[in-house]
Amino acid sequence: MLAASWDREHLAVYADALVALGDPRGDVVAIDLHVDTHGPSEELARGKRAAIDAWLGAELAARIAAIGEIRHGFIELRWPVDADELDRMLGVAGFASAVRAIAIEDHDPNLRRAIDAICRVRPPWLERFHVVRYPDAFDDALRDSIAIDDDRARRFVDATPRLRALTVAGANAFGELVHPGVRELCVYDYNAIASLLSDGPPFASLTALDMQLFVAPSDAELASLLLASRLPALRRLDLSRNERHRGHVFELLRRHPLVAQLAWLRVPSLRNDADLGAVEAVLARMPADAELSVARAYAGCTTRPPSSRITMPSAWPWPPDGLPGRVAIAIPGDPFGETVDLRGAIKVLERAFERLAEPARAAWIELWQLISDLPEPGALTDPTDNARHFSGDALALALESLDLSEHRVWADLRTALRNRSGDTLEIRRVWRL
């Protein structure tokens, strides 16, 4: 019943059945259902921890809490484990019968061992599987070999009848793999699954595909990629994670028959009028009610507005390829200030800009417009002519919400500006050092 209708009523019946069998997992389900209705409490949290420890043991329970979640009596591993750790987990009574999501990463021999272990225990509730393939260590000759052969892939399909979402990273991770139940597929390498590059049985249930090319495919591979006969149910295609290979994306879509059946398509940024024209030609071949969205936009890349049927995000103020050189930021009373690499700054911003609060976004927009207006430094440039002024308070606000763990200079600048107010900063472009 629960398999057919995943709702509170059937979860409650499932919990009662487990309690009647003396299975502490039933208490876990009942506690979570109570929290859903009445809210959490420390007493309920203690009760849940005690029930989970009785079910799985304290050591495994703590590990799952660190890399995943146990909810309504089911286990989801969100961070990957290697084959050795997966073996230990599958060896604990009660784990395999309750796991709904597994993430595994390892080198080829161990990856095959992990797949074999899953085939052996046949986890009945497994719905999401994430696999990362690392080729056999230090042997480049094996990088083009298939990690999971066709026979092993067929056994995996047979052992996971409830699988609905599959993520695969690593070239040649699988050979022929077609799972009849998978509805969502995410690949981080265009050749992670050989089935996506050749003809064969269809992915009968697959409705959504998110694909990153990772490296540029050959002309022959691009021509054979995503055959429509393999993907009869596909309606959503996300190719937006391919900024480095935008040209290949537009070439793939230019005459691809798959376009005619899509209800939703997402593409990388448009850098010029030719990109805009290519996307509009793709849209013309899609159904009349289909949606096409662009992942990111940059100011001034195209000379005309796109079709009203194309969904565009707000344009980012910096140019798509960044700005050459560095920007020097002088702080009153600080004899040194900071010098920031512009392209490095853009990498930080592109990961966070859309999530920033509006005041911080507005500050960044103002700053980048100022930087864009600054003349590039030249050998004969008078430094006093190559300077602008900017509010220290505005820059402090802009920096405060960013994760700057990978950008020490911005982090140092944020520290310098904290607990100050009313500063006017001097900003100028300088030669790249």
Res 324 pLDDT > 80: no
- What's the CA gap between 75 and 89, in Å, rounded? 11
106 Cβ contact partners less than 8 Å away, ≥ 6 residues apart? 82, 83, 114, 132, 134
Mean pLDDT of the chain: 89
pLDDT of residue 78: 93
Q: Let me know how long the chain is.
A: 433
- pLDDT-based confidence at residue 141 (cuts at 50, 70, 90): low
In contact, 163 and 170? CB cutoff 8 Å: no
Res 291 pLDDT > 90: yes
Nearest partner of 47 among 66, 67, 63, 33, judged by Cα = 33
429 Cβ contact partners less than 8 Å away, ≥ 6 residues apart? 325, 326, 327, 328, 371, 374, 375, 376, 377, 386
pLDDT of residue 287: 96
- Sign, Cα dihedral of 179, 184, 190, 192: negative
Mean pLDDT, residues 205-213 taken together: 98
Res 165 pLDDT > 90: yes
pLDDT of residue 257: 96
pLDDT of residue 4: 63
- Lowest-pLDDT choice from 29-43, 215-229, 310-324, 367-381: 367-381
Pairing of strands 310-311, 291-294: parallel
Pairing of strands 264-267, 326-330: unpaired
- Lowest-pLDDT choice from 27-31, 55-59, 160-164, 233-237: 27-31
Amino acid (1-letter code) at residue 311: T
Pairing of strands 264-267, 184-187: unpaired
Going from N- to C-terminal start, the domains of the chain cover: 8-311, 326-430
Q: Which residue has the tokens 């100022």?
A: 370
- pLDDT-based confidence at residue 33 (cuts at 50, 70, 90): confident
Nearest partner of 16 among 36, 37, 33, judged by Cα = 33
- Lowest-pLDDT choice from 48-62, 317-331, 385-399: 317-331
- Lowest-pLDDT choice from 113-122, 291-300, 380-389: 380-389
Task: Identify the top-confidence range among 20-24, 139-143, 241-245, 414-418.
Answer: 241-245
Q: What φ, ψ does residue 76 adopt, rounded to 5°?
A: -130, 115
Residues 358-406 pLDDT 10s: 999 899 889 888 888 887 766 544 455 578 899 999 988 988 888 888 7
Residues 237-278 pLDDT 10s: 999 999 999 999 999 999 999 999 999 999 999 999 999 999
Nearest partner of 108 among 138, 151, 85, 77, judged by Cα = 138
pLDDT of residue 407: 80
pLDDT of residue 282: 96
By CB neighbour count within 10 A (0-12 exposed, 13-18 middle, 19+ buried), where does 113 fall?
middle
Percentage of residues in the chain with pLDDT exceeding 70? 94
- What's the CA gap between 40 and 27, in Å, rounded? 15
Category of 322 on φ-ψ map: left (φ > 0), alpha (ψ -120 to 50) or beta: left
Q: Is 8-311 in CATH node 1.10.12?
A: no
SS (H, E, C) 76-120: EECCCECHHHHHHHHCCCCCCCCEEEEEEEEEHHHHHHHHHHHHH
87 Cβ contact partners less than 8 Å away, ≥ 6 residues apart? 113, 114, 117
Residue 383: helix, strand or coil by DSSP? helix
CATH level 2 (architecture), domain 326-430: 3-Layer(aba) Sandwich (3.40)
pLDDT of residue 433: 46
In contact, 148 and 173? CB cutoff 8 Å: yes
pTM: 0.86
Res 138 pLDDT > 80: no
- Lowest-pLDDT choice from 149-158, 173-182, 258-267, 389-398: 389-398
Higher pLDDT, 95 or 410: 95
pLDDT of residue 1: 62
- What's the CA gap between 342 and 359, in Å, rounded? 21
- What's the CA gap between 120 and 87, in Å, rounded? 11
- What's the CA gap between 189 and 173, in Å, rounded? 9
Distance (Å) of CA 67 to CA 75, 156, 246, 401: 11, 24, 34, 26
